[in-house]
Structure 1
Amino acid sequence: MLRLTVPRVVLALVGLLLLTYAFAVAPATVAGGRSDQAADRLARPTPGVVAPVESSPSPAPPPPVFPPAGRTFIGVMTDKGPHDFRPLDRFTAAARHQPQVMLFSEGWATATFDRALFDRIKARGMMPMLGWEPWNYRIDQTARKQKLTARQIDRLRANQPRYRLARIADGHFDSYLRSWAVGIRSLGYPVAIRFAHEMNGDWYPWCELTNGNRPGDYVKAWRHVHDVFRRAGATNVTWVWSANVRWSDSTPRLAAYYPGDAYVDWVGITGYYGTGAFSRYLSFDAIFKRTHAEIRTFTHKPLVITETGASNGAGRKAEWIKQAFRTLPAYPDIIGLIWFEVNKELDWRIGSPPAAAKAFAQGVAAARYDVRWSPEMVPRTTTTRR
């Protein structure tokens, strides 16, 4: 029989404590990383094994550019614009092609910002381009109803002292400008503004040759309008500077009207076959090449034919359209062409005659014009120099 003496009891207690440490305390210490040796073993990499590297998220791809490189968009302007899409539908059916840009005009005397106009165009898969005109267009309408000559109409509508360029530059219209800037900013998608076009003529009150305007006033007015939008945070605007084709050496050189690349995103040219100096048959090259070359002496911004059309006065409308589409690839810096689908001074619509519609449909069927627009796209603002 084992006798319980004091030394034996002490030894038993010591043994019990050692067993408790071995099975409970020691494993927890190692697992908790408090053992220097265990921590050292965990910190040392295993020979031949590469430690995994945490990967950072890939940057988001840049948004697609409109139009893509090597492509040219087709746009349209009708007399109804987004107020009535029936003329657009007729154009689309005749061209068998969905346009990607719609140009429409609003005059300062009567128009206030209306989001619905822009949203209607966007919903049709087209980028809105606002032709923003600082004048009272009703004077023009009244003159036309009086059956006056073209030059008489020009003189009447160009004389509108309220809309002198100096008044725009001096801030007289700033509250009006800000109302549009805030509205366009709220759209949240790209729009183009073609402000005070054809400034090198003498038929609008914003031309320097009319309305008491002086040399240099156009650039000052343009920059002021642009700066009001910039201060309002309307950075979703593509600014389109659009001149009329040079038809004579007597007309002013275009560089005098150019606000500078910091104020312009696209440059434009307006030109038609079948009216004025271009009444006799002239090819696309004969109408546009000279002005295109002149613009390229002071800017290399992407270029858009912002208005064009052809009459059928000599029965050669379809021929002109075919030739135009054959010629366009020779101008890789032309990123868009907007057709003036209106029966105004003459019938510029592509459906008149049917042969013109056929020629247009064949032209835009080329891969160069296979373009789509979406609100997520970023308008192209650079081009490759030739």
Structure 2
Amino acid sequence: MNMEAAMLRVRFTQSIFLVALAVFFPLTDALAANGALALPPASIKHLKGGARGNLSALKLRDQNFYDDNPARYVSLLPGRGKYDGYREYRMPVAAAPASVRAMRVEVNFNGPSPAKQAWSWSLYNWNASRWVRVGGNAGSVEWEWKTLVFAIPNPRRFISADGRIRLRVVSSNARYEGRMDYEAVHLLYTPAAPPAPASASIPLPPAGRLYHGVYPGGRTGEEDDIRLADLTAYDAAAGKTAAWVYFSDNWYHGRAFPTSTAAWIRRAGRVPYIRLMLRSDPDGGRADPVFTLARILSGAFDNDLHGWCAGARDFRTRLIAEYGVEVNGEWFPWNGKWNGGGIRTGYGDPAQPDGPERFRDAYRHIIQICRDEGANNITWVFHVNDGDWPQVNWNRFENYYPGDEYIDWLAVSSYGAQTPSDDYWPVFRESMDAVYPRIAALSPAKPIIVAEFGVTNGNPLGSQPQWARAALTDLINLRWPRVVGFSWWNERWQNDNNPAHDTDMRLQANPALARVFQLLVRGNINVLGTIP
């Protein structure tokens, strides 16, 4: 199939799907309802036969036409005579069963022709204690992915008092397997009361003063396992508390708002600063297999993002957050290199490079979801590296900026040598002098922070304490006048099997480095350890 024919087919399929949505969820109902949910399966039970694949694959529709990636779907394997099993779905506490106004079931299915093997879906009627057939694979094309949509009349009978929904699928024989790439129960409901928005902002420091923050270091190097002990060790070495505490929220460990970490940071009297890391693993320098910018823009993770933003709202107090840390660096999967690069014909405005344009729109999408959820307690940061990698015009960080209407603060990372084996010694002043005019030009008034800076000990090309002293002196003396805060990267990590090659930026590991902070930070009234 040539590309033009394929695109026409996609457009036709999308048109049919949109028409189907209009039929199954009439416009008046959709406008009358205040809430929408797409429930993924919470568990699976096989009554006859079994399955191959991970249940989590059913959360994302990503197989089309003749795609065949077994990691992305679940194969239902018949036992004696047929396959028979059900998935259970659970409504969130905020959506009462009695508030449900409409329901539909969506399945992305692949299997033999209906003439060879029929598959039928049923919902459990909790009132009558029996299964009710709601649809089947009639009309599907043999071994081609097809989205099946079943409208469910009188939906409340299919929801238990505690919010459970059971969806059963049965095959007519045992000759073939059936495949599902996506299965969800979609609901429209009326919330009992909309949650109150949270509103909490962070004031700028008084003129001439700077906020002092930190990434306090963790245990695994994945930046999401920081502890109070890590923070207090840094505070003691620096001689002053950190106003914000920086950490990563890695979605390969879970997609919920990181309430536990944020809560202990708040109890310690600091503001949580969250790096929102939509990625599948900690490996860098490649495209992410799941969390691409295109999928974010398509709405594939909207349910997760709504949940995350609702968690941020319900946290109620002040937060700092960023998506796309060091976006102009190819070591992270949201960099344009992995999302269209400098091509201008695959997405959006043909005058803009696709990779940066996709990022810009994806970040706007995330922020808008949080605004829709009422999470107005977040200060949003646009965070770049001090150098563009790859060093090509389309990858200049200016191309990625979402705009003043979305971003509150601008931020930069500027490091010295990051391993003892590095054969170069970046000077903080030189790096900042080069990047500061560019980042300041993004917006005439947005405050700027040095979100990450640090240098390792043990590199023969330079002294860690001297590097830090020069950097802090320039920051405190306001060499870059719109900079309102900084945070040291206080971490140790292993680079290879030779301990002499380990990176160590921790103040508590080098008394000479700690003395620099105690001299320039501890008693300095212009360096603030709290946010009023």
With structure 1 as the length reference, what TM-score do the two structures score? 0.72
1:63 deviation in Å?
A: 9.0
What's the RMSD between the two structures over aligned residues? Answer: 2.4
Matched with 2:432 is 288
Distance in 1 (alpha carbons) for counterparts of 2:489 and 2:449: 13
Change (3 A) 1:218 1:332: same
Specify the code of the residue in structure 2 equivalent to 1:356.
L
1:298 deviation in Å?
A: 2.0
Q: Deviations over 1:286-342 (max 9, x none)?
A: 122211111122213111111111122135111111111211121221111111111
Q: How many correspondences in the alignment?
A: 297
Distance in 1 (alpha carbons) for counterparts of 2:485 and 2:237: 19
Secondary structure of the residue aligned to 2:492 is: coil
Match of 1:265 among 386, 408, 416: 408
Specify the code of the residue in structure 2 equivalent to 1:219.
R
1:229 deviation in Å?
A: 0.6
Specify the code of the residue in structure 2 equivalent to 1:284.
F
Q: Deviations over 1:166-200 (max 9, x none)?
A: 11112110000011111111122110111111110
Q: Which has the higher contact order (CA 8 A, sep 6+)?
A: 1
Secondary structure of the residue aligned to 1:199 is: coil
Distance in 1 (alpha carbons) for counterparts of 2:440 and 2:517: 28
Change (3 A) 1:268 1:175: same
Distance in 2 (alpha carbons) for counterparts of 1:267 and 1:131: 14
Conserved in 1, the CA contact under 8 Å of 2:249 and 2:258? no
Worse overlay, 331-340 or 221-230: 331-340
Distance in 1 (alpha carbons) for counterparts of 2:442 and 2:524: 31
1:87 deviation in Å?
A: 1.6
Change (3 A) 1:64 1:83: closer
Matched with 1:241 is 382
Conserved in 1, the CA contact under 8 Å of 2:385 and 2:413? yes
Conserved in 1, the CA contact under 8 Å of 2:381 and 2:408? yes
Matched with 1:370 is 528
Bigger-Rg structure (1/2): 1
Pairing of 1:185-204 with structure 2 (within 5 A):
185-204=313-332
Match of 1:250 among 380, 388, 391: 391
Higher helix share: 1
Which 4+ residue blocks in structure 1 deviate beyond 6 angstroms? none
Matched with 2:213 is 75
Pairing of 1:17-56 with structure 2 (within 5 A):
none
Match of 1:133 among 277, 280, 301: 277
Match of 1:124 among 268, 274, 284: 268
Distance in 2 (alpha carbons) for counterparts of 1:160 and 1:327: 38
Matched with 1:351 is 508
Pairing of 1:52-201 with structure 2 (within 5 A):
65-80=203-218, 83-111=226-254, 112-138=256-282, 140=283, 154-155=284-285, 158-201=286-329
Does residue 436 of structure 2 align to residue 305 of structure 1? no
Distance in 1 (alpha carbons) for counterparts of 2:465 and 2:239: 16
1:106 deviation in Å?
A: 0.9
1:98 deviation in Å?
A: 0.6
With structure 2 as the length reference, what TM-score do the two structures score? 0.53
Matched with 2:134 is none
Secondary structure of the residue aligned to 1:121 is: helix
Distance in 2 (alpha carbons) for counterparts of 1:77 and 1:194: 14
For structure 2, which runs of at least 5 residues remain unmatched after alignment? 1-199, 219-223, 342-353, 496-502
Conserved in 1, the CA contact under 8 Å of 2:327 and 2:397? no
For structure 1, which runs of at least 5 residues remain unmatched after alignment? 1-61, 141-153, 378-386
Specify the code of the residue in structure 1 equivalent to 2:411.
G
Secondary structure of the residue aligned to 1:242 is: strand
Distance in 2 (alpha carbons) for counterparts of 1:87 and 1:184: 24
Matched with 2:191 is none
Distance in 2 (alpha carbons) for counterparts of 1:195 and 1:82: 19
Match of 1:360 among 507, 510, 517: 517
Specify the code of the residue in structure 2 equivalent to 1:86.
A
Matched with 2:65 is none
Distance in 2 (alpha carbons) for counterparts of 1:336 and 1:208: 28
Match of 2:488 among 319, 324, 339: 339
Q: Deviations over 1:38-68 (max 9, x none)?
A: xxxxxxxxxxxxxxxxxxxxxxxx9982433
Change (3 A) 1:244 1:325: same
Conserved in 2, the CA contact under 8 Å of 1:201 and 1:207? yes
Change (3 A) 1:272 1:63: closer
1:278 deviation in Å?
A: 7.9
Secondary structure of the residue aligned to 1:86 is: helix
Conserved in 1, the CA contact under 8 Å of 2:257 and 2:311? yes
What percentage of residue pairs aligned between the two structures are identical?
27
Change (3 A) 1:99 1:176: same
Matched with 1:222 is 363
Specify the code of the residue in structure 1 equivalent to 2:468.
I
Worse overlay, 247-256 or 187-196: 247-256
